[in-house]
Structure formats: C-alpha cells, structure tokens
Homo-oligomer: A and B are copies of this chain.
C-alpha cells in the first residue's frame, strides 16, 4: 500500500466519484424499511439498547451516507490556491491521504462510530483496516458487505475481528500510518505512545451539564426529560452521557428533582430503556455509591440500587438510574476530586448545587476536569452563558434552553477538544482533519524573466 493512498487529488480521481455513488446506493438501501430493521435488530442483539436508540444509529448512518452522495466526496478534496510571486507561480494546498490507516472503535455505537470513521478514511483516499469491538464485529461485517454490493472495491477495506492486544501486534507488523481510536482514555494513551502520536482520539468524557439561574422560567418537564435522556439513555453507556449536573439553587427549589425521579422511574428492562451495563458490575456501582454517600451532606436523589426482576447475568451490571447529590465544597478538595469526577460508565450521575456567589468555584472545578468531550449550559441568560462558555473547552458543548450533553448527529462536529490529538466524526470538516493532511504543491511553470542574468551564489 503506497503512502499516496488508493487515490489522491492527482491520482485515480474517478474514485472520489465512485465513493459518491457507493454512498448514494448504500443510503438508498438503508432507507428501505427491511434493511433499516435488519441493522436495528442486529445492533440490539449485541448491545442492549432501546429500539429508538438502535434505530437512531441507522438513521444517522444513512443520513451521513446521503450527505456524501454524488460529488460530495470529491468536494472534500477541495484545494486552495493563491497567486505566487511571479506569473506562473501558483501555490496550491491539497488534502492528501496518509496511505494505510486504521479505525479502532468501541461497543456502544457498533454501527455508527466505525462506519462513519471508516468511510471518512476511504473518502480521503486511504486504505483502511477496521477493528470494531470484538463483541460487535458482525455489524460492521454486514455493513461492509452492503458496501461491496453498492460497488466498493473488495480490497479497499479490511475488517479485523480481534482483541485489542492483537491490534498492537498487528500494528507492529503493518505500515499503519494513522490510527483513529474511539474508547477509553487509558487505551487511547497507550496507543498514542505505541504509535508515537500517529493517532486521532475520541476518548472518554466526564460530561457535565450546568442548569443556569434562569432555568426556573423554563418548562421543568422539558428540562427533566432532557436530563433523564442525557444521563440514562443506553443505560448511561454513551461517551456523551451526562455524568455530572450542577444545579442552580433557583432550580433546586422547584420540583425539578421530583420530576427527574418520576421520569427515571419510567425506565424498564422490557423496552431496554434501562438494561445491562457491559463494562461495570454491580459491585462497582455499589462501591461508588458508598464513596459518595460517605460524604456528609450527600444524598441519593433517586436510584442507588440494583435493578430487580431481571435475568441479566452477573458478569454485567444492572443498576437503577441513579443520581447522587454531593455538596459543592467536596469538589474543592483536591484529594477527593479525582474520585468525584471518575466516570462510571453506567446510569449514574453526580449532582451538585451552586448559587450566584459560587459560580467561580464551579468554573474552577470545570477547569480541573481533564476530559473534554461534551457539556451543556442550560441557560439563556446572556452574561451567565457567555461566562461558562468562555471558560471551558469541551469539544461539543450545547448551550441554551434546549441544551443537552448527548446527540452526536452527522450534521455537526462531534468530538473532544483541548487536545491536539482530538478526533472529530462525521462532518466534512472532521473528515478532512482526521483523514488527510495538507500537501502544498507550488506550480511554477513559466521561464525565468527575459532580463534574468546568472547571479552569484548566496
């Protein structure tokens, strides 16, 4: 596999158009009810999520494919050029592929994440190796077979069914020039060292939401519904899940907590609005709860107990949607802090309260959280909202009345910030950044000026 890729702006450019056609056909297929249902069920068979959530992946992927139909793949390869220093000189900046690259992706969005990253890699001209989480490889197998049917050449993409350490071995043997990784921070850092930084990372989030001073004037039902969805959808196993909510005391005085509790209580195993947690066992949930409740003044807003009445094997977690209220002062304690902001990849959120005089404490706290994936600032108060946004760096931050932490659609950037290695997913901008690099070709094709005479060397 040459480092000039399968195509680039000067090589095999008909492949850009070919991928536009593959996208168009694949999108058309995925808009067919039976195909959509097949992928939805396949996802549900491997990852226990509500039908709406599983179908959500399908909807997103087919919308993404529609976005790159027609000429839109080649539009990703837009070059820019400027006049040079003399006639004939024309510096031109291209987006160039990297050659052989890899996508390593997690279990929780087994279709959405690997398919969008893989397509991005292919669009820009790379040959790509895809390594989904090994529990979910079959979903990508189906997806890739569909693409073959739609005209994708058989050799453009290799699917690997293996565990993470096998990937490390593979990496040492193959000339993989870039690895895009989505998953835990630990593995992300390990990969960064292994590859000498040839990575684009979307790692874990300890995603927060701040309810502003003006929230009581909003529809509390709406706020409670959105918070419940953000915290507990897919049993909290989204990298964008709301792990931490800071509630202005104005709102705490309303029936917001009560409404949140009522909404969370509607979740049930039958429709998978709550369900098994794949990477955290009940003992860990229990331990985390005990740590929280050991802090004086802390209390359980709802949940805090194992789920009952189910057949979920004990190798998986099964925990009620839970919210633990912890006084703000503990977040100022630098020893407690790392534990308090430890992501629990399940249906658990930490809640704290603040008032106007404590906003600086809150901002300082946010400064110290080392993960920067999503965030939400629920406020239309111009001064408050601006203040929070100006002093934070989360990559995808929702702000306003309808702010949320989850929602990673195909039409806007999704990914962490605050890190030069950060990956984005799905949008034209993110595909160009993650899957290609700048190459400058300075065309300079006119002869030397007539008055030119041989100068002395310098």
Contacts and interface: CB of A to CB of B under 8 A. Distances in A.
Interface of A: 2-4, 8-14, 16-17, 20, 24, 27-28, 31, 50-53, 63-67, 69-72, 74-75, 77-89, 91-93, 96, 98-99, 177-178, 189, 192-193, 195-200, 218-219, 221-222, 225, 228-229, 232-233, 263-264, 266-267, 271, 273, 367, 372, 380, 382-383, 386, 389-404, 407, 409-415, 417-422, 424, 428-430, 433, 437-448, 452, 454-458
B83 A80 contact: no
26 contacts: A4-B390, A10-B389, A11-B391, A13-B89, A66-B71, A67-B71, A69-B70, A88-B386, A193-B193, A195-B197, A197-B198, A232-B457, A273-B456, A273-B457, A382-B400, A389-B441, A398-B442, A399-B443, A400-B445, A400-B446, A403-B442, A407-B442, A412-B442, A415-B438, A422-B438, A429-B438
A177 B382 contact: no
A383 to B, nearest CB: 6
A67 B77 contact: no
B437 A422 contact: yes
A17 B458 CA distance: 24
Contacts of A67: 69-72
Contact of A2 (B232, B391, B396): B391
Contacts of A411: 71, 74, 82, 84-85, 91
A68 B122 CA distance: 21
B218 A16 contact: no
A27 B445 CA distance: 32
Contacts of A417: 96, 437-439
A223 to B, nearest CB: 10
B448 A222 contact: yes
Contact of A80 (B80, B424, B440): B80
Contact of A397 (B392, B418, B420, B441): B441
A456 B180 CA distance: 36
A80 B430 CA distance: 13
B82 A80 contact: no
Nearest to A266: B457
